[in-house]
Amino acid sequence: MRLLPNVLLCCCLSMPAAYSQTKSALELDAKGWVDLLADRTMKDWIRGPLSGNPIVRAGTMSDPSPWKLDPGSGILSCAGDKVGHEWLRYAAELGNFTYHVEFRFPPVLGETRYNSGAFVRTDIDGKIWIQAQATLEGGYLFGNTLVNGSPQMVNLRQKMAENRVKPAGEWNVYEVRAVGRKITLWVNGAIVSEFAECEVLRGYVGLEAEGYRVEFRNVRVKRLP
C-alpha cells in the first residue's frame, strides 16, 4: 500500500498532453463579448470571393448564397456545393481581440475531407489574410501575410502542437487571440498553434466556405487593449 501514491504519481506524470485542458476565454470571463450572429438579418456580414488570392484554389461566389442563418437556433450553415470558395467578412475592422468560433462538419456519407476556417487580420479584399484552418486533420494558423513588409505564405501546420479537432458531427471550439504581433489558436482546451511575428496589426475577421458543408454558432469577438 505504501507504493500506491508513487504509482499514481508516475501515471499522472506520464499522461499524454492531449489530456490537458484549459478553459476558453469566453468561459473564464463572459463580459465584454459581442455576439456577431445576434442580428439575424446578418447586415454586418459581407460576402466576398477568394479568387483574388493567388495562393488558394481559384474560387467563385456561389449563386444563390450558400450561407443561411437559422433564426431559431442561431446556427449559421454553409452548404457544401463543392463549387464556391468564398468568405463572410464581419464589417468592423479590429486590432487586438479574441475571436470565439464554434463549428461542426455535418457527417456526409463517403466524405473523408472537410475544410473550412476562421479568418483574422485579413484585409478588405481577402488578399492578405491569416486563417485558423479547420479540418479533421487539426487546427493551425496559416495565411498570406506580410513578412518583412512583403506578402508571403506562412504555414504553421508542421508546428501544430496536437490535433484536437473532433470527428464530423461534433462541435469544436476555436479561439484566436491577436494582441500586437502575437496570434494564438486555442482548440478544444489547449493552444495548438502560435504566430509570434505578425506584421499586420489590424484587419477583419471572417468565416470560410470551401465547398464543404459546415455549421457555425456562438461566433463572438472581444476587443482587447
> pLDDT for 20-43, tens place per residue?
799 999 999 999 999 999 999 999
First to last CA, the chain: 53
- Asked, for residue 145, whether it belongs to a domain, the answer is yes
In this predicted structure, what is the pLDDT of residue 2? 36
- Asked, for residue 15, whether it belongs to a domain, the answer is no
- Asked, for residue 102, whether it belongs to a domain, the answer is yes
3-state secondary structure of 134: strand
In this predicted structure, what is the pLDDT of residue 150? 95
pLDDT at 8 over 50: no
- With a CB cutoff of 8 Å and minimum separation 6, the contacts of 8 are none
In this predicted structure, what is the pLDDT of residue 51? 55
Q: Is 23 exposed, middle or buried (0-12, 13-18, 19+ CB in 10 A)?
A: exposed
Taking the C-alpha atoms of residue 198 and residue 5, their distance in angstroms, rounded to an integer, is 46
- Asked, for residue 1, whether it belongs to a domain, the answer is no
- Identify the residue with better confidence: 57 or 200: 200
Taking the C-alpha atoms of residue 176 and residue 148, their distance in angstroms, rounded to an integer, is 23
- With a CB cutoff of 8 Å and minimum separation 6, the contacts of 69 are 37, 40, 42, 75, 76, 77
| pLDDT band for position 17 (cuts 50, 70, 90) | very low
Domain count, the chain: 1
- Asked, for residue 59, whether it belongs to a domain, the answer is yes
Task: Output the domain CATH number for residue 127.
Answer: 2.60.120.560
Q: Please name which of 93, 76, 87 lies closest in space to residue 119, comparing C-alpha atoms.
A: 87
- Identify the residue with better confidence: 1 or 36: 36
| pLDDT band for position 153 (cuts 50, 70, 90) | very high
C-alpha cell at 6: 508513487
- Asked, for residue 186, whether it belongs to a domain, the answer is yes
- Asked, for residue 7, whether it belongs to a domain, the answer is no
- Domain span at residue 54 reads 21-223
pLDDT at 57 over 70: no
Q: What is the pTM of this model?
A: 0.88
Cβ density class 5-14: b for 16+ within 10 Å, e for less: eeeeeeeeee
- Rounded to 5°, angle at Cα 162 from 156 and 166: 110
- Asked, for residue 13, whether it belongs to a domain, the answer is no
